[in-house]
Structure 1
Amino acid sequence: MELRQYTLHPGQRDVLIDLFDREFVEPQEAAGMTVLGQFRDLDDPDRFVWLRGFDDMPRRAEALASFYGGPVWQAHRDEANATMVDSDDVLLLRPASARGGFPAPVAARPALDSPGSAPSLVLATIWHGVGPFDTAFVEFFERRVRPLLAESGGEPLAYLHSDHSANTFPALPVRTGEEVFVWFARFAGEGRSDEYLERLHHSERWSEEVLPALSRWVGTSQRLRLAPTERSLLR
């Protein structure tokens, strides 16, 4: 899976989202990938974030070559690229365990021009490791961290870590030499995510038991508050 964060020229995010949702979703999936989610970063008006997945790394190479060498991208690439300052902030990830992948979607992708659904929010937490997020960490996350997150209202939807496979499509760079652990939670709206963060902040178990243990593995962290676009499958 790729977690892609694009920095855009001021005022161009909705231009790109309109083009992306209209022209790029179905052709990418026809080429053999899954466009899982497209988002507006609520804390940066010039950032577009999206997720796409592949069956494996050889299939990734085939799918990307098919799409980026195909007629749809060739027809619209100049318009898309004109919105972007940087598109190279890409993390290559894989599920941290057999239970860490995204569940199958519960609803079909909204069609073009379909009525908007109720606002929702996806919270992505990125932990940067002081070393590898090894099997011991994954066991700790599943046994100690995940239950507390769920009790606080932030049940992880998926949790993934760095995939250090060779980039099978070098024309699109990915960040290398990093250790990250990324987990996602879904909320009915900003208010619900704020309530979850407040409960976690005031949890004695979190501050006295989990955080000190996390420091063995986690150096710095980043939190992305993501609003799904009108056609995002993950919403």
Structure 2
Amino acid sequence: MDLIVELRQYTLHPGARDTLIELFERELVAGQEAAGITLGGRFRDLDDPDRFVWLRSFPDMAARERALHAFYGGPVWRAHREAANATMLDSDDVLLLRGPGFAAPDAGGPVVATVCHPLDPEAFAGHFERRLRPALTAAGSAPLAVHRTEHAENTFPALPVRTGEDVLVWFTAGGAGPVSDLSDLPDLSDHVRCAPQRLRLEPVRRGA
């Protein structure tokens, strides 16, 4: 079943990433889950020591609004928001998506999130299923989850999301090799507005 998914990329003050991760895992995971939020993967960006990437999901937009009000108006966030916010330079790089959610595979190891901006979202979704998914799978990097932009109004404006763009995002296991840099895939230049963004990500294990 498709969910409402937030893909959140935080730019942090230099050296603050592990501070935020420790606080996040100790206090903010359980606090969000208690408010009805499903936490997905949490990641260190392997190419940017000051970026923290994470996902969370909701059954629908109404549930998202209720859960965010419950968490950000509740005691856990009130107790820890100053410490969390002190680590952050920017927390507004957020893609609102629809898809299955994503948590890192139990086997461990890095994953890659690929973000494409298609010229024609519907046509590109078909192209992905016909050409890209089979190519990735044949090369040993089958997509683990695929998400598309959710265009519903952001009903919790205290937390901005990116608007005015369409994306298709997929996650694969492994952080190196030709498939990871897209060189072994069919040419995308006729289908996308700009070069895909690739996030090479190291999972944060629960409690780590």
- TM-score, length of structure 2 as denominator length: 0.90
2:177 to 194, 214, 225: 194
Q: Which of the pair has more CA radius of gyration?
A: 1
2:167 to 155, 180, 184: 180
1:125 maps to: 114
Instruction: Measure the CA separation in 2 of the matches of 1:74 and 1:27.
Output: 11
Pair 1:151–1:162, CA change in 2 (3 A): same
2:192 maps to: 218
Instruction: Measure the CA separation in 2 of the matches of 1:127 and 1:85.
Output: 25
The secondary structure found in structure 2 opposite 1:147 is: helix
Alignment RMSD, CA only? 2.0
Q: How many corresponding residue pairs?
A: 202
Report which of the two has the higher share of helix: 1
Question: Is residue 91 of structure 2 the alignment partner of residue 91 of structure 1?
Answer: no
2:32 maps to: 28
The secondary structure found in structure 1 opposite 2:39 is: strand
Q: Deviations over 1:59-82 (max 9, x none)?
A: 000000000000000000000000
Give ranges in structure 1 of 5+ residues lacking alignment. 96-100, 108-117
Supply the AA of the counterpart residue of 1:75. Answer: A
Verify the 8 A CA contact 1:15 1:83 in the aligned structure 2.
yes
Equivalent residues in 2 for 1:151-166 (5 A)? Answer: 151-166=138-153
Pair 1:103–1:72, CA change in 2 (3 A): closer
Instruction: Measure the CA separation in 2 of the matches of 1:104 and 1:229.
Output: 10
Supply the AA of the counterpart residue of 1:217. Answer: H
The secondary structure found in structure 2 opposite 1:227 is: strand
Supply the AA of the counterpart residue of 1:197. Answer: S
2:68 to 64, 72, 92: 64
Verify the 8 A CA contact 2:40 2:101 in the aligned structure 1.
no
Give ranges in structure 2 of 5+ residues lacking alignment. none
Runs of 4+ in 1 over 2 A off after TM superposition: 101-107, 193-198, 214-217
Equivalent residues in 2 for 1:132-171 (5 A)? Answer: 132-134=120-122, 136-171=123-158
User: What is the deviation of 1:122?
Assistant: 1.2
The secondary structure found in structure 1 opposite 2:144 is: strand
Verify the 8 A CA contact 1:102 1:157 in the aligned structure 2.
no
1:112 maps to: none
Q: Percent identity?
A: 58
